[in-house]
């Protein structure tokens, strides 16, 4: 169990809403759907209504500093089945990168690889008290694009399992390129936090509001969003 999972949830009942492509830049085709993740016939780009509103506020703040720029949504609401699929996929990718045989892993090797995976991926818990952040519809993975819809370089891709993913990895950089990576990450973070999102400590791209991680990071006693699949109204 991660520290934030001890936070109590007082579900507010807010529905999930579809994110329109005309408002935000969307990562298409969706990266996990492209891998075969088991989404149903609904678009992957859903968020709680309040998160969608806050994301619009963040984009407005961004455009005050960088006219024409937009927030690009890489991932949003993630059903538990998709969370499990991506944990399994990432585990297999780490095994492959280490040139190990999945069938010959020792118990210690398996534990070590899982530790590496779970530094960045939340456990696909079925316990209603400990939902993965993305499975609440309150977490979103984002980056930035310029006025020509070109992605801004953040110095590492979303979902990279390395220290380059840490938000301040390039804070003490000495090269011009790496200093620019840090500035780009700061632009994103400032826009998102202006709308009261909290940033994941290990991921420059992950922001949330109202889930357990947000509550823990902002020292709230309760979260207001639990599992999204338990919300009856999805519009």
Contact (CB, 8 A) for 208 and 218: no
139 SS3 class: strand
Spatial CA neighbour of 158 closest among 129, 128, 121: 121
Q: Output the six-digit token pair for 179.
A: 């200093």
Contact (CB, 8 A) for 217 and 2: no
Is 163 tagged catalytic?
no
Among the listed residues 151, 160, 178, 203, the single catalytic one is: 203
In angstroms, what CA-CA distances link 63 with 45, 74, 77, 143, 152? 22, 19, 25, 14, 14
Contact (CB, 8 A) for 15 and 51: no
Cα angle value 134/160/206 (rounded, 5°): 35
User: b/e map of 180-203 (b: 16 or more CB within 10 Å)?
Assistant: bbbebbebbbebbebbebbbbeeb
Q: Which residues are catalytic?
A: 203
């Amino acid at each position: 169990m991660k520290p934030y999972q001890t936070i109590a949830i007082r579900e507010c009942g807010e529905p999930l809403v579809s994110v329109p492509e005309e408002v935000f830049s969307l990562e298409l085709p969706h990266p996990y759907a492209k891998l075969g993740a088991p989404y149903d016939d609904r678009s992957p780009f859903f968020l709680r209504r309040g998160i969608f509103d806050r994301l619009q506020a963040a984009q407005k703040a961004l455009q005050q500093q960088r006219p024409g720029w937009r927030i690009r949504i890489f991932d949003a609401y993630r059903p538990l089945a998709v969370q499990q699929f991506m944990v399994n996929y990432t585990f297999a990718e780490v095994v492959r990168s280490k040139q190990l045989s999945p069938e010959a892993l020792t118990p210690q090797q398996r534990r070590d690889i899982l530790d590496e995976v779970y530094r960045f991926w939340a456990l696909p818990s079925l316990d209603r008290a400990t939902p993965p952040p993305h499975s609440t519809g309150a977490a979103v993975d984002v980056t930035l694009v310029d006025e020509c819809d070109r992605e801004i370089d953040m110095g590492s891709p979303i979902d990279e399992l390395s220290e380059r993913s840490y938000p301040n990895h390039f804070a003490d950089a000495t090269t011009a390129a790496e200093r620019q990576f840090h500035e780009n990450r700061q632009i994103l973070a400032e826009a998102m936090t202006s709308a009261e999102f909290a940033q994941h400590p290990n991921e420059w791209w992950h922001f949330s509001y109202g889930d357990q991680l947000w509550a823990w990071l902002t020292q709230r006693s309760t979260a207001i969003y639990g599992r999204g699949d338990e919300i009856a109204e999805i519009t």
